[in-house]
Structure 1
Amino acid sequence: MELASVEGSPARIVPQLSTAPWIVRVLAVIIDSLVINTLVGAVTGQWGNALWITGVGDSSGESLTTPATWWYLGASLAMLTVQAFTGYTAGKALLGIRLVSDSSGRPPGFVLTLVREFLHLIDSLLLIGYLRPLWHRERRTFADSLARTLVIREAVGRGR
């Protein structure tokens, strides 16, 4: 990592050449979704009924009262907590990438991780934010830029 001044901000740690490619980030999200949906399906028996596939609740209109919804929320919170303090989710660890604060190069912590997840709502507008890493020089979504986080590649051979 090297120290660099980026986008008019004070000097921050920015791993110029080690940011994660867009497709690897997408694959990590897919893996995370599969892990959570598999957990929720195994526990509740409601396969494919978790939030990431069908939206909040199910087609019966039960919304937040279904056990699958609560299990989904709990599993997602657990995964975000692990990411907050390690920088990894299941998908990120498997693919050798992790989330870090751009000012320290360390995992961002719980509050910043939750803020980043809520900021992903901005990314979801017309999907433009999710596609932004394809052309942004630091491969950041809008959520990453606003939360001052980066998704980086781990050094080859470094243990997780």
Structure 2
Amino acid sequence: MTFSGWWRRAAAYLVDSLIAAPFFLGAGLLDGTGNAALYYGLAVLGFVVWGYNRWWRAGRTGQSWGRALLGIRLVGAATERPIGPGRAVLRDLAHLLDDVILYIGYLLPLWTARRQTLADMVTGTVVIR
């Protein structure tokens, strides 16, 4: 099993974020303008796109759009198989732990043997090439 490096993981996350960003930015620009239907519509659409890509698609295949573009997959550390949508949601929530320790958790792949963030360690996942 070849573990993905930090730069490739970061680039994949950037691609995933850029795909959902227009919806959230559009909603942000409409905030306070009185156009509630469009505001909420864009916000919900952004959440649906993010959820489909990061949780449903990545959970079932191991690849979000960004990971597919960069040639990496999210899998269970023990099974080397996709982790499923529920565990993909938990992993994204576990990234809050990476945030709490001053974002150092996101840098752990730079020096850990299995190239894991704190969220990966908690959820038993790895990102492979």
| Superposition TM-score, scaled by structure 1 size | 0.70
Quote how far apart the aligned CAs of 1:60 are. Answer: 3.4
Quote how far apart the aligned CAs of 1:58 are. Answer: 6.7
Aligned CA-pair RMSD? 2.2
Matches within 5 A, 1:1-160: 15=1, 18-38=2-22, 40=23, 48-49=25-26, 60=32, 66-79=40-53, 80-125=55-100, 126-153=102-129
Taking the aligned partners of 2:128 and 2:30, their CA distance within structure 1 comes to 35
Pair member with larger Rg: 1
- Greater RCO (CA < 8 Å, at least 6 residues apart): 2
Query: Which amino acid in 1 is paired with 2:95?
Result: H
Taking the aligned partners of 1:68 and 1:133, their CA distance within structure 2 comes to 34
In structure 1, list runs of 5 or more residues that go unmatched: 1-14, 41-45, 154-160
- Evaluate the alpha carbon distance shift between residue 58 and residue 149 of structure 1 in structure 2; reply closer, same or farther with a 3 A threshold: farther
Alignment deviations for residues 121-145 of structure 1 (CA, whole Å, 9 cap, x no partner) = 1111211111111111111000000
- Evaluate the alpha carbon distance shift between residue 71 and residue 151 of structure 1 in structure 2; reply closer, same or farther with a 3 A threshold: same
| Superposition TM-score, scaled by structure 2 size | 0.85
Q: Which has the higher strand share?
A: 1
- Evaluate the alpha carbon distance shift between residue 71 and residue 144 of structure 1 in structure 2; reply closer, same or farther with a 3 A threshold: same
Moved beyond 4 Å, runs of 4+: none
Alignment deviations for residues 44-68 of structure 1 (CA, whole Å, 9 cap, x no partner) = xx7x346xxx7xx976398xx6322
Taking the aligned partners of 1:100 and 1:58, their CA distance within structure 2 comes to 38
In structure 2, list runs of 5 or more residues that go unmatched: none
Taking the aligned partners of 2:111 and 2:42, their CA distance within structure 1 comes to 37
Taking the aligned partners of 1:147 and 1:77, their CA distance within structure 2 comes to 18
